[in-house]
Chain A
């Protein structure tokens, strides 16, 4: 039996939730005060995901970097892999919001898209 402690982020109350797991399966969820907390805790312990936001270097732009995000969710444990994979990525200006910067970043299945516009210098 494994227990995991986490803070619910679904509302400002921030319930301290305890999840008991056995062989990766949720056995019990306690400490939450609403069903949204249970839902959050269940997905957070079995399959936690995040949107990753970072920067990519730009050639010939009015700014040296462009902001980017993963278009889909990335497994939590792959966050640093995703930003690390962006280190070697450089794009040419102009860049527009929504442009695909990198596909299937770090094997997560998520594409990385631009979230700001960078005009040509």
Chain B
């Protein structure tokens, strides 16, 4: 079996991997390899042919393939090597040498090992399948996750069905309601278990309202009919405990059920590596450098936590690329007295990325991203460091579908912790009522 050495291996050539590679190369890393399992770079963006990407990054509105192409161009200009149609099947770490081994295979090289000094995890995420939702009924064909239907339609030009019900109002589901309508299918309704939509407002208006497709909040699919192909689904209203309310069942005759009920970071390799995982995000725990608890292994994009906007993925990935470059080139090695700030999220805030900040290493400003677990209107978002209030941000609205962020300023952090005892500090992020 062949063996190659690389300074930096980036697993995944989607938006996160590409932005990380471009950033690392720009920061001076010479010996990079991107490993992509698909036959083209760009990841899921290739099938996201709708527009709305890039307003933050490029200050213009692009479609998914156009956005990906901008980064693919940068990768080509930097002459960063990449392998396509190549699957990473194992990832391990040698504690003594610090070396990481990436085991991969493809049709031309067979099975091979890459010994890497640093690795950036950028494998993205997958959709929650029907089974995980415990929807009772038959198991016929015609039940697809929204992304699978998107692949058929946008990449293959095939319709996965003609009369469609969508469960879950995540953005892919909303987008697919419009896409399938455009391609000649009839979308009957979108049912959402929660009392609010998990998708962006813009998508509700432009993908559902524009076409008169009803959004049924607090509704779910309680039965699937059809032994061979879907013949229909039964939708019922749910109560506060998400239990179907008897007597509210309505049967929809359809041949297709699309599911858009959440995304799960794809962390099989991270698990094999043995990195510490965050059960809330499904991604690894990372510090201010987006580094996992395995030194020299970074994570970014949807494999770390699910984002709503690709622009944020690119930003996060660029940071991971820069941090990997610092690690490889021995930069930003600060005197460390072992001080850490543990971030605690509570009272409506579900998690944060990163979850640990080293005050000596953190950049001058550090973006901390998080999500809330419910819809909150007219609340304060409060941040405390060692008991002292650092921020109080009035928020008109916060919702689970919209990622939130705060910017931590190094100088301000320094002021507070220099006056605190001990090396362990605590930063709390929480939702509070307005006085």
Q: Which residues of A contact B (CB under 8 A)?
A: 6-9, 11-14, 33, 50-55, 57, 63-65, 67, 69, 76, 79-80, 83, 97, 115-117
Q: How large is the interface on B (under 10, 10 to 19, 20 to 34, 35 or more residues)?
A: 20 to 34
Asked whether A97 lies within 8 Å of B69 as measured between CB atoms, the reply is: yes
Asked whether B206 lies within 8 Å of A12 as measured between CB atoms, the reply is: no
Asked whether A67 lies within 8 Å of B49 as measured between CB atoms, the reply is: yes
Name the B residues within 8 Å of A83 (CB-CB): 182-183
Asked whether B210 lies within 8 Å of A33 as measured between CB atoms, the reply is: no
Name the B residues within 8 Å of A115 (CB-CB): 49, 62-63, 65-66
Give the shortest distance, in Å, between A82 (CB) and chain B (any CB): 9
Docked pose: A63 CA to B63 CA in angstroms: 18
Asked whether B63 lies within 8 Å of A55 as measured between CB atoms, the reply is: no
Known: A116-B49, A117-B65. 8 other contacts (CB 8 A): A12-B399, A14-B204, A53-B49, A67-B63, A67-B65, A83-B183, A97-B66, A115-B62
Asked whether A116 lies within 8 Å of B200 as measured between CB atoms, the reply is: no
Name the A residues within 8 Å of B204 (CB-CB): 7, 14
Docked pose: A69 CA to B397 CA in angstroms: 32
* Contacting residue for A65 out of B50, B154, B396, CB 8 A: B154
Asked whether A33 lies within 8 Å of B155 as measured between CB atoms, the reply is: no
Check A55/B201 contact, CB under 8 A, given A50-B206, A69-B51: no
Give the shortest distance, in Å, between A67 (CB) and chain B (any CB): 4
Asked whether A53 lies within 8 Å of B50 as measured between CB atoms, the reply is: yes
Name the B residues within 8 Å of A33 (CB-CB): 396
Give the shortest distance, in Å, between A69 (CB) and chain B (any CB): 6
A-B contact count (CB 8 A): 80
Give the shortest distance, in Å, between B199 (CB) and chain A (any CB): 11
Docked pose: A57 CA to B158 CA in angstroms: 11
* Contacting residue for B182 out of A11, A54, A116, A117, CB 8 A: A54
Asked whether A12 lies within 8 Å of B205 as measured between CB atoms, the reply is: no
Name the B residues within 8 Å of A14 (CB-CB): 201, 204, 397
Give the shortest distance, in Å, between A121 (CB) and chain B (any CB): 13
Check A69/B63 contact, CB under 8 A, given A7-B201, A14-B201, A115-B49: yes
Asked whether A55 lies within 8 Å of B49 as measured between CB atoms, the reply is: yes
Asked whether A53 lies within 8 Å of B51 as measured between CB atoms, the reply is: yes
Give the shortest distance, in Å, between A89 (CB) and chain B (any CB): 13
Docked pose: A116 CA to B46 CA in angstroms: 8
* Contacting residue for B210 out of A11, A55, A79, CB 8 A: A79
Name the A residues within 8 Å of B397 (CB-CB): 12-14
Look across to chain B and name the residue whose beta carbon is closest to the beta carbon of A76: B210
Check A65/B63 contact, CB under 8 A, given A14-B201, A50-B210: no
Look across to chain B and name the residue whose beta carbon is closest to the beta carbon of A82: B182
Name the B residues within 8 Å of A97 (CB-CB): 65-66, 69
Name the A residues within 8 Å of B69 (CB-CB): 97, 116-117
Name the A residues within 8 Å of B210 (CB-CB): 50, 76, 79
Q: Is B412's beta carbon under 8 Å from chain A?
A: no
Docked pose: A116 CA to B64 CA in angstroms: 9
Docked pose: A50 CA to B200 CA in angstroms: 16
Name the B residues within 8 Å of A7 (CB-CB): 201, 204-205, 209
Docked pose: A69 CA to B61 CA in angstroms: 11
Docked pose: A115 CA to B157 CA in angstroms: 15
Give the shortest distance, in Å, between A80 (CB) and chain B (any CB): 8
Q: Is B99's beta carbon under 8 Å from chain A?
A: no
Asked whether A65 lies within 8 Å of B200 as measured between CB atoms, the reply is: no
Docked pose: A75 CA to B323 CA in angstroms: 46
- Chain B, range 190-220, C-beta contacts under 8 Å to A: 200-202, 204-206, 209-210
Docked pose: A75 CA to B201 CA in angstroms: 20
Docked pose: A69 CA to B157 CA in angstroms: 16
Name the B residues within 8 Å of A116 (CB-CB): 46, 49, 63, 65-66, 69
Check A55/B206 contact, CB under 8 A, given A12-B200, A83-B182, A115-B63: no
Q: Most chain-B CB neighbours within 10 Å: which of A79, A83, A115, A116? A: A116
Asked whether B205 lies within 8 Å of A64 as measured between CB atoms, the reply is: no
Name the B residues within 8 Å of A54 (CB-CB): 49, 182-183
Name the B residues within 8 Å of A9 (CB-CB): 201-202, 205-206
